[in-house]
Structure 1
Amino acid sequence: MHSKMMRKSAPARGLLLWAALVVGLSACGGAMDAEALPQDAAPEATQAQEMGTLAVAGKFTAVWEPGTAGEIQVYGWSYADYKARYDALWPQGWRLKLLQPYVVNGQVVYNAVWRQSTAGEIQVYGWTYADYKAKYDELWAQGWRLKILQPYVLNGQLRYTAVWQPSTEGEIQVYGWTFLDFRKKYGELWGQGWRLKLLQPYVLNGQVFYTAVWRPSTEPESYIANASYEAYRDFYDQMWNNGWRLKILQPYTLNGAVYYTAVVQPSTAGEIQVYGWNYDTFRAQYDTLWNQGWRLKLLHAQ
C-alpha cells in the first residue's frame, strides 16, 4: 500500500508541457440506457453521505481538492442498487460527477459520486462498442457530448459505460488504441488545438489499450503514461513544484504490477492523494478530509 501524499500549496511556475500521445475515432461498449431531463433546483447539502456496502472490494486511488460542496457517494454497489440510488437522487437535484464500473470476482460493481446540479444527463451501462457508437452518433446530432467514459473488461469482453451532457463543443475520440498509436495522434492533435478531456487505459488479453477523448483547447498540458509508482511520483513531484496539478489519474494492473497514466495542468490549488488503499482506510481518510473542507476530484478502484 502506498502512503498518502498531502499537498496544500506551492509556488506557481510556468513549465511548458511536453505532450506526446494520440487521438482518433473508433470504439467499444452494451446494456441499459437511461435518459433524464432537467428538474427543479437542488436542495442544499452540507455533509458527505455514503450509501455503500459494509465490505467493499478493491484498492482505492483518490485525489481531493479544497471545497465545501455537497457530495454523495456509493462504493462497490451492484448495478441494480446503484441505479435505484441514481433514480432517487435525480429528482432531488443531484448529478454524476464521477462514475466508475470495475470488476470484482467476475461481477461489475460501481463507484459513483454525485454533486448538486439540475443539468441534463444521459447514460449507458456496459454496452458493446457497436451499440455505444450508434448511441453516440445519435446523441451527437442532438447536442450531447461525453462527460464520463469508462471502458472495462468483463469475461474477456470489452464494455463501455458512458455519460453525456448537453453541449455542442467539438470532440474527437479514439477507442482501444495502442499507446504508440495514441501518442502519435496526440502529437497531431496537440498542434491543431485539441487537449485531453478523458483518458482511460485498460488491459485486454495481456495488452494495454487506450480510449481517449479530446476537446478544443490551447491550454498547457503534460502527461506520463505506463509508469511505475516511483516514476509517476517523480514526475508528479517535479510538476507540483513547477505549479502543475492532476487533471487525470488512471492506474491499471498488468501482470500483477500497478502502472499509472496521469495528465497534469497548470494550477496552484491544494491537492491530496492516496494510492492503492483498501476501502476502510480510504473511507476513514475521506471522513477526516471532509471535515477539513476537501472534496473528491478523482477516484479509481481496481
Structure 2
Amino acid sequence: MNMDLSLKSRRRFMQLMGMSSTAIILSDLFPNQASVAVAASSAWVARHGLTSAQYQSEFNKYTAQGFRPVQVSGYAVGNQDFYAVLFEKTVNTPAWVARHRLTSAQYQSEFNKYTAQGFRPVQVSGYGVGNQDFYAVIFEKSANAPAWVARHRLTSAQYQSEFNKYTALGFHPVDISAYTVGNQDFYAVIFEKSANAPAWVARHGLTSAQYQSEFNKYIAQGFRLIKVSGYSLNGQDRYAALWEKSGSGAWIARHGMSSQAYQDEFERNFYQGYRPVWVNGYTVNGEDRYAAIWESQNGYNSLELTAIDQTVAQFMQDYDVPGLSFAIARDGRLVLAKTYGLADKSTGERVAPRHRFRVASVSKPITAIAIMKLVEQGKLKLSDRIFGKSGILGTTYGTTPYKPNVDQITVQHLLSHLGGGWSNSSNDPMFSNPSMNQTQLISWVLNNRTLDNAPGTKYAYSNFGFCVLGRVIEKVTGQTYENYVKTNILQPSGVTDMQISGDTLAEKKANEVTYYGQGGENPYGMKVARMDAHGGWIAKPIDLVRLSVRVDGLNAKPDILGASTLATMYKGSSVNPLYAKGWCISSIGGNYWHNGSLPGEQAFLVNTSDGFSWAVLVNTRSQKSAFSGDLDQLMWKIRNKVTIWPSFDLF
C-alpha cells in the first residue's frame, strides 16, 4: 500500500519518546557546511556539503582511523555532486565496501561483483547530476543476514509494483532513496525478510501536506521515523519515508533545512546529547536542502528537558525576551547547552549555539584573569601603582600634577573597585564624552574628576577602573588588550571565537545577535568598543563556560592559573568581602559569579561551589525591577530540574 505524503518545505517537528543512556559524546565542530563530532564509547563523525574529492579525502582520513561510513547521501547543486556522510567507529565491525559516484551501469557491475563475494547492499543513495543518475552505496558482509532484495532506477509505478510484490512475500523496505533525473522521479530500495520485523509503514510520492498529516498520525501511534529521502519535482519538494514501531529512545527529525539551518540544528541537538543517525541531502530549485534524524545518546529525562523548556519559555514571555542562550558544565564537562527564540526578529533567524552576544560586565572576570596571569608571570604586582612617575602608566594620561590621591591607586584597588571614585552610581565616565577615544577619556577624567575617597577605603563599583586596567595590560605586554587576552587567556582555554563588540548595528559581527532595547533604550547608542576591558566582549555561552572551567580550581580541565593565584583572585577585600578581584562572591555558598547589563543585553556567568559552571545571555534588557534577579534564578531553576546529570563532555 502506498500513499502520497510529504513535509512542507522548512517545516520541522520533533518527537520525544522515552530516553536512552548509552553513548558518551565529545565534539569538534567544523565550519563551512560541515560538522564533526566524536563519541567516546561509539565514535562517530558527520559531514555534509562535501564535493566528490572532499568526500574521498574525508573517507581516506577517517577510515585510516578505524571509522567506516554507515550512511551516505549524494545530491547535486548546479550540476555538481555533493555528499553528506556519517562515519562510525565500533567494535566487531563487519566487512564492508563503500562506493560513490557510480553510474547505473557501474553500480550494477559493483553490485554483481560484491554480492558474488557474499556482500549485500545495506544503504543506497541515488542522485541525479544533470540528466544522468548516479549512486553511492555501502555493502556489508555479515553472518546470518536476512533474505534481501535490492532494486534501483525504478519509476514510481515500478517501485509500487515491486513494493506490492515483495511485501506480499513477507519482505519490508529497510532503505529508500528517492531522486530525480530530468524531472522524472526514481527510486532505489532495499527489502528484507526477517522473522521478527517490527510494525512498519512506507510512503512515497509525497506531497507536503500529506506527509505532514502522515507524520503526525504515525508518531501518535508510537512509530518513529527511520529513513526520509527528499527530492524535487516541478520545483516542489517531495519525500519518501519509512517508519517503524521500534526503539524507545528520544529522537528528533528535521527536514527542509538549508545548509546553515542543518548546521545550527546539528549543534542544537548535539549540545543536548543527540547524535545524527540519518542525513539526507537533496535539491529544491537549485538549492541544497537537508533532512535528518537524531537519536538521544544520553541519560536526560525527557520530562525534565520539557520542564526546562517550559521554565525558559515562561521567563521569556514575562520579560519580552527575543532570544536566550545558555550553557552548563559540571565538574569541568559541558553537559548541556540550549538556545531559544530569535537572534534577529526582522529576519526570523533563530538563536543557535553559534550566536554571540554582548556580555557587558562579564568582561570584568576576563580582565581580572588576564591581570592575574601577568601577576603570576611576575610582569606586575597587585601593589603596583598605576598613575604618576612610579606608576605603570606613568604620566601618559592627563596633566600633572594629578588630583589628590590619584597616584596612590594600585592594580588591586581597581580590581576590587576600591579606587576611590569614578563609579557608575552617578555620571559614569564610560558613558560620557562619546567622541573621545580611551586615551582622551582617561586624560579627561584625570583632569576633571576628583576622587571621592582615599583609595582602598571604600567600595564603589567602577567601570572606568577596569577600562584603566585594560590600558595597564597594554602597557605591560606591548599588545592591544584584545590581542593579549585572545592569545594568552582565551586560546589556551580553547576559546577562539570571542572578540570586542562594535558600537552600531552596522558594526555587528559575524554570528552576533541583534539587540532590542526596552523602555526607549538604544542598544546601538553606546561606545561599546571603548568599554573593552569592562564591558566590551561578545561571546557564546559555551565559550564563557569553556573559559570558566579553566579557572574553577577543579583542574578537571587544566586551570590556566595556579592554585595560589586563583585563591588570590577569589579572595574578597576587607572593605567588601563579597567582591573579590573581578568576581562577585555569594554571601551563602561561596559561589563566584558576575553579571552584565547594558541596553539590549543581560548576562550571567557563575561558578558554583559544588562544581557547576554556567553562562546565560539574552538580547534585551527589561525595565522590570525583577528582571536581572529572575534571570539569575532561572539558571538555578534549570539546574534543579535535572535529577541525574550525564557523564559525557560536550566541549
Q: 1:115-126 alignment to 2 at 5 Å?
A: 115-117=88-90, 118-126=93-101
TM superposition shift of 1:167: 2.8
2:228 corresponds to? 249
TM superposition shift of 1:144: 0.8
1:161 matches 2:169: no
Decide which of 267, 274, 277 is 2:254's aligned counterpart: 274
What SS class does the counterpart of residue 171 from structure 1 fall into? Answer: strand
2:44 corresponds to? 71
Q: Distance in 2 between matches of 1:139 and 1:230?
A: 40
Q: Which amino acid in the other structure matches residue 82 of structure 2?
A: V
Q: Which amino acid in the other structure matches residue 172 of structure 1?
A: V
TM-score by length of 2: 0.38
Q: Which amino acid in the other structure matches residue 189 of structure 1?
A: Y
> Conserved in 1, the CA contact under 8 Å of 2:95 and 2:142?
no
Q: Which has the higher helix share?
A: 2
TM superposition shift of 1:102: 1.2
2:17 corresponds to? 9
What SS class does the counterpart of residue 276 from structure 1 fall into? Answer: strand
> Conserved in 2, the CA contact under 8 Å of 1:100 and 1:111?
yes
Q: Distance in 1 between matches of 2:78 and 2:259?
A: 16
- Of structures 1 and 2, the larger Rg is shown by 2
In 2 relative to 1, CA 45–108 (structure 1 residues): closer, same or farther, beyond 3 Å? farther
1:172 matches 2:149: yes
TM superposition shift of 1:50: 4.2
Q: Flag structure 2 segments of 5+ consecutive residues without an equivalent.
A: 1-8, 35-39, 283-651
Q: Distance in 2 between matches of 1:131 and 1:296?
A: 30
> Conserved in 1, the CA contact under 8 Å of 2:122 and 2:190?
no
Percent identity, aligned pairs only, is 18
What SS class does the counterpart of residue 247 from structure 1 fall into? Answer: strand
Query: Can you list the C-alpha shifts for 1:186-228, whole angstroms capped at 9, x where unaligned?
Result: 1221121211122112112222122211112252221222122
> Conserved in 1, the CA contact under 8 Å of 2:83 and 2:281?
no
1:85 matches 2:58: yes
Q: Which amino acid in the other structure matches residue 244 of structure 1?
A: F
> Conserved in 2, the CA contact under 8 Å of 1:124 and 1:161?
yes
Q: Which amino acid in the other structure matches residue 133 of structure 2?
A: L
**Aligned positions, number:** 258
TM superposition shift of 1:156: 0.5
1:103 matches 2:55: no
Q: Distance in 1 between matches of 2:117 and 2:33?
A: 41
Q: Distance in 2 between matches of 1:271 and 1:230?
A: 22
2:594 corresponds to? none
1:287 matches 2:267: yes
What SS class does the counterpart of residue 236 from structure 1 fall into? Answer: helix
What SS class does the counterpart of residue 93 from structure 1 fall into? Answer: coil
TM superposition shift of 1:119: 3.7
1:112 matches 2:85: yes
What SS class does the counterpart of residue 261 from structure 2 fall into? Answer: helix
Q: Which amino acid in the other structure matches residue 47 of structure 1?
A: L
Q: Distance in 1 between matches of 2:139 and 2:107?
A: 12
> Conserved in 2, the CA contact under 8 Å of 1:48 and 1:70?
no
Q: Distance in 1 between matches of 2:124 and 2:30?
A: 23
What SS class does the counterpart of residue 158 from structure 2 fall into? Answer: helix
> Conserved in 2, the CA contact under 8 Å of 1:148 and 1:164?
yes
Q: 1:189-200 alignment to 2 at 5 Å?
A: 189-200=166-177
Q: Which amino acid in the other structure matches residue 280 of structure 1?
A: Q
What SS class does the counterpart of residue 47 from structure 1 fall into? Answer: strand
Q: Distance in 1 between matches of 2:131 and 2:206?
A: 24
TM superposition shift of 1:241: 1.1
What SS class does the counterpart of residue 121 from structure 1 fall into? Answer: strand
Root-mean-square deviation (CA), in Å? 2.3
Query: Can you list the C-alpha shifts for 1:271-290, whole angstroms capped at 9, x where unaligned?
Result: 21222122222212211211
Q: Distance in 2 between matches of 1:179 and 1:8?
A: 32
1:181 matches 2:153: no
In 2 relative to 1, CA 273–295 (structure 1 residues): closer, same or farther, beyond 3 Å? same
Q: Which amino acid in the other structure matches residue 242 of structure 1?
A: Q
1:240 matches 2:215: no
2:182 corresponds to? 205
TM superposition shift of 1:45: 7.5
TM superposition shift of 1:103: 0.9
Larger RCO of the pair (alpha carbons < 8 Å, separation 6+):
1
> Conserved in 1, the CA contact under 8 Å of 2:173 and 2:190?
yes
Q: Distance in 2 between matches of 1:157 and 1:141?
A: 27
1:24 corresponds to? none
TM-score by length of 1: 0.78
> Conserved in 1, the CA contact under 8 Å of 2:86 and 2:277?
no
1:261 corresponds to? 240
Q: Distance in 2 between matches of 1:85 and 1:55?
A: 14
> Conserved in 1, the CA contact under 8 Å of 2:127 and 2:134?
yes
Q: Which amino acid in the other structure matches residue 116 of structure 1?
A: K
> Conserved in 2, the CA contact under 8 Å of 1:156 and 1:205?
yes
2:107 corresponds to? 132
